[in-house]
Structure 1
Amino acid sequence: MSGVFFGLGLTGIAGGQFLYITGAYILPADIASAFQPLIPVWTTLIAIATCTEKMPSLCMLHSWAKIIGVFVATGGAVRLALAGYEPEAEQIGVHVSKQAVGYLCLVMETMLGAMYYIIQKKFVYQVEDCKIFSTITPSLNSPSNTGKWKEYPMAMTGYAYLFGCVYEGLFCLYFVVTGQFDAFHLPRQSVPALVYAVFMTSAFCYFLISWSNKYLPSSVMTAFWPVQVVTTAVTAYVLLGDTLTPTQLLSASVIIAGLAMVIYSNRVDEKISKTGEGGIRLDSCYGHHKSNGS
């Protein structure tokens, strides 16, 4: 089971955060935020590729609703994050190769985030729709290894964080070896923000993600990710007095519409799994079925 926690700590905790911070350091924060809605797209693709979720039936209306909804919500979040964005003068002069490194870090960070949810779903909660990977890694799928952890999402998150902290501590050795001890200086005024970031936006949110990932398909759970962009815009409007532009309002509406499509698809899937009935088959598939049977 230590191999699972090794993967969780490396992907979702240490590797993902390190790549995001690096990307946000090189590129503007707006660009870094605009990349985050890619996580549900990667999650859906990886979930299907690893048999964690079934390939959506292209003959069913609700399957198309899920596919389109994920991309619609992602596109709306990207548009909202970039609404009104103007590159700063110092960012315009950033060398192209350095920008490429920043973009690469953000793409890898979103992919690692998606892998975090899939590793958790497959090897801790033991959800799969085919037997390919269970025969390749039988020890990881053994109930004796994962049975107790899937009942305690908080404990599982804590152990994943323990592994992640070890990796992040190893990253800090670079500053020790190079003698850059100023990197460990913490201004007093930043302590409240750091405490909030550690306990609320990091540890507590990761627990909520683990708990949600237990009961929802990973693709559906991450489809809510673009909502954070809407929440940021609304919070800035309420607390900072930022004005919401028509573009931002339209983008937020697009995100909500895409999310509604994903929720609808998940509800239909649940009904089909329980009763064996439900969903709307497309007319084109009826015609294709008849032509094959004639």
Structure 2
Amino acid sequence: MGGGDTLKAHVGMALVQLFFGGYQVLTKVALNVGVNQLVFCFYRVSLAFIILAPIAFFLERRTRPPITKKLLLSFFFLGLTGIFGNQLLFLIGLNYTNPTYAAAVQPAVPVFTFLFTVIMGIERVNLLRYEGLAKVGGTIVCVSGAILMVFYRGPALIGDEEMENVAQIKISARGQQEASGWLINSLHNLGLDNFQLGVIFLIGNTCCMAAFLAIQAPVLKKYPANLSVTAYSFFFGVVLMVIASLFMVHESSDWILTQSEILAIVYAGTIASALNYAIVSWSNKILGPAMVSLYKPLQPVFSSLLSQIFLGTPIYLGSIIGGSLIIAGLYIVTWASYREKQATLGVTPHASSVSEPLIHEKSSDQGGHISSGSSSIS
């Protein structure tokens, strides 16, 4: 790839994080109006599938391998974790917190992916090398930051806390009724308030995305058609949304959207899903997953700025400390993975004694597909 494509990929990845920041702010506005989270997810996933399916069909019609039952089962689990669980938990978490916290937790996705890949045997950690120790230490730092954000909020350092309290009061009766479900009540009985529950749901969102990436890596080795894998994942996500809606959405009025809700869904389906997935996939082929993942910490910065500008959301001490720990842990793990990748390619003299990199890449004779797929999507 030429230098022009490299520059475009860097600019593209920065724009991806900006687009995600905008998604979080727009979605928070829709949630405050009272949109049903499951309905929102259904419309978003359906729109993204409608966009991705024909593009994948025509662009990869000559490179798609035959579909097997095992692949279909893998696509189902991709839809369950990366589309259904990931997006629904994110919206519930965002509803109880704010865009700043929602974005601050997202950099934990690569670290939780590392944990799952170790458990599944995809990733090997050599504790006798600095890189292996850095991976474990960075993971601990990142998880500690996420836990801190749950249990410590602290004073508002930027913005007016009263404005957020007023915004929370404005949540509609429809949203309040949804929040009184058995799961929320059960968690409240454990002594957790709404804000702590929101952060827990956001952490669950990152775990689902990490599981999605861990499952996706071996799938892409057998089915090296990135857009098609993504489209199949969205298809099963739509199916699961429909099934869940039959049991959880009881009012027909929940499917009727306001103007702000329609705007948020159109943005989420086209920009935050379809476009961002395409940019990340293309940038991965040029920069590699290690460099692409370095842009993830920009998301909290963009989200904090946009939510402060458009929503007046305050920035708390807990979000700064916890978010800083998450970002620090991410960089430590990413640095160690990059060092291992360089060693594997023979750049360093101890290449033969290190473990494999965190995110594996396929060789060029397989078309240059990145086995991690969209490794930084929410």
Same topology, TM > 0.5 = yes
Query: What is the Cα deviation at residue 14 of structure 1?
Result: 1.3
Count the aligned residue pairs.
249
1:219-230 paired onto structure 2 within 5 Å: 225-230=296-301
Distance in 2, matches of 1:244 and 1:34, equals 11
Q: Does 1:120 align with 2:216?
A: yes
The CA deviation string for residues 71-114 of structure 1, in whole angstroms up to 9 with x for no partner, is 435555776894646795979xx886243695775554332221
Residue in 2 that maps onto 1:162: 235
Distance in 1, matches of 2:108 and 2:334, equals 18
1:70-219 paired onto structure 2 within 5 Å: 70-73=139-142, 75=144, 82=153, 84=155, 97-99=186-188, 102=197, 105-124=201-220, 126=221, 143=222, 146=223, 150=224, 152-174=225-247, 178=250, 180-208=251-279, 215-216=288-289
The alpha-carbon distance between structure 1 residues 274 and 50, as it changes in their structure 2 partners (threshold 3 A), is same
Unaligned stretches of 5+ in structure 2? 1-70, 170-175, 354-378
Q: Does the 8 Å contact 1:224/1:259 carry over to 2?
A: no
Distance in 2, matches of 1:239 and 1:48, equals 41
The alpha-carbon distance between structure 1 residues 112 and 223, as it changes in their structure 2 partners (threshold 3 A), is farther
The alpha-carbon distance between structure 1 residues 167 and 225, as it changes in their structure 2 partners (threshold 3 A), is same
The alpha-carbon distance between structure 1 residues 260 and 21, as it changes in their structure 2 partners (threshold 3 A), is closer
Q: Tell me the SS of whatever aligns to 1:167.
A: helix
The alpha-carbon distance between structure 1 residues 18 and 243, as it changes in their structure 2 partners (threshold 3 A), is closer
Residue in 2 that maps onto 1:272: 343
Q: Does the 8 Å contact 2:81/2:211 carry over to 1?
A: yes
Residue in 1 that maps onto 2:120: 50
Larger radius of gyration: 1
The alpha-carbon distance between structure 1 residues 208 and 4, as it changes in their structure 2 partners (threshold 3 A), is farther
Distance in 2, matches of 1:245 and 1:163, equals 38
Residue in 1 that maps onto 2:137: 68
Residue in 2 that maps onto 1:131: none
Q: Does the 8 Å contact 2:108/2:142 carry over to 1?
A: no
Give the TM-score of the pair, scaled to structure 2: 0.53
Query: What is the Cα deviation at residue 61 of structure 1?
Result: 1.4
Distance in 1, matches of 2:267 and 2:219, equals 31
Quote the sequence identity (%).
Answer: 27
Instruction: Tell me whether 15-24 or 75-84 shows the greater mean CA deviation.
Output: 75-84
Q: Does the 8 Å contact 2:82/2:212 carry over to 1?
A: yes
Amino acid aligned to 1:60? R
Q: Does the 8 Å contact 2:107/2:326 carry over to 1?
A: no
Unaligned stretches of 5+ in structure 1? 127-142, 282-294
Residue in 1 that maps onto 2:79: 9
Q: Please tell me the root mean square deviation across aligned C-alpha atoms, in Å.
A: 4.1
Distance in 2, matches of 1:185 and 1:44, equals 41
The alpha-carbon distance between structure 1 residues 49 and 246, as it changes in their structure 2 partners (threshold 3 A), is closer
